[in-house]
Structure 1
C-alpha cells in the first residue's frame, strides 16, 4: 500500500480532477523552548490520527464533508510554526491540540482548500522548523506503532512532520476496525525512528504501508519517506 500526495505518473489520476484540499498542522516553537525533533514528529502523527478518529470528522459531524473532500483527492498536509501571540491566535480556531510526551504541541485543523487558508494560519511561516534531539530516542515503547524514516533522506523537521502524518494516516486506513479501536483507546502510541539501510530495504519490500512523496518540496518526486509498522508481526489487521 502506498499513497499520499504522491507525484502523478504517466496515467491520469482521478484524484487530480477533484478540488484539492490541505490539512493544516501548526507546531508551537517558542524561541527559548523549542520542542525535541522526535517528540514533534510523533506528536504530528498523533494529531493526524486524532482528527481522523474525531466524532466531528465522521458521519454527520461538522468536519465530515471537509475530511471526505480532502481524502478523496491527494492527502496533502502542510506544517507551519507559531509562537507567542501567533500560537494563541491559532488555538482560537476550531481544531485539536495534541501534546507529546516531551511537551511538544501540535494543533491540527480541519482541511481547507489549497487557496483558502484562514488568515490566522496563512500568515504563519513554513520555514524555520529545523529541530534537534537533545539525546538519541530510546527503545520503541511496547505497543507503539513505528513510523520508520528513510535513512538516506535529509528533510527539515516540518517536512518530516508532514511525512509522519502521512504514514500514520496510511496505517489507520490499513487497520481493521478492531485494531483501530485498540490503538485509539491506548492513546495512539507512536514511535518515529530512522531505519538503518538494511532494515529500510526490508521494510520497503515488506508490503507495509509506504509513503511516496510528490516531490513538491525538498526531495525528489516518488521518494519513499516513511514505512508504517504496527504489531509484533508487522501490520495487524
Structure 2
C-alpha cells in the first residue's frame, strides 16, 4: 500500500514538473491530467498560472494608479478579457473571486439553491467561454460572488456551484479600506495594493466595507485585518 502511494505521489510530481506547473493544493492525476482532490471542477494548470501572475505583479502595478488601471491588470492576470460581460468584476463588494473552472462544469447552475442568496439560474457558461483568455490554460475564468465565503468550508459560487477553488480573492482591508489584499484559496496573501487618493472610479466606501463584512468569520478575514493595520 505504501509503495503504491509513493508511486502515485511520485507520478503526480513528475507530471507537474513536466508541465511546468506549481500547483499549491492536493491533487491526483487522471489520464495524464491534474485533478484537485477536494474541488474537482478546478482548472488546475490555469489556477497555477493565475497565481504565478498575481505574485509577479509589482508594487508599481498595484499602487498609486487609477482603479480602472489596476482592475485591468487584475482581469488580465486572471485570464479574463475586459468588456461588458466583465464590467462588474472587482467593481462591487461581491464579484471579487477570480475562479478557474474546467469546461465540464462551466454550465453548472444554482438550480438546487445550495448557494444561498444567489439566483437559482445563475447560468454563466456562455459568458465564461466568451470572456476567458485561452493562453492561461485549459478551462475558463470568471469573477464569481464571494457571498457565503465566510462559512467553513466556503459556501460560495466557486466552491459549491462550480466545485472549483479560487485563484485569488480581492478583499478590502479595515479600518480605512484604502488598501486591498489578493488572497489565495486558503486565505494566504498573494499580493496587495492601494487606491489612489481622489480616484472617483474606485468602488464606493460602502461597497468596500460590505466586501470585508462578507468575509468576516471565515478563513479570509485574518489576513485582511492584519494588512489593514498598515493603513494611514
How does the TM-score come out when normalised to structure 1?
A: 0.30
Larger Cα-atom Rg: 2
How does the TM-score come out when normalised to structure 2?
A: 0.30
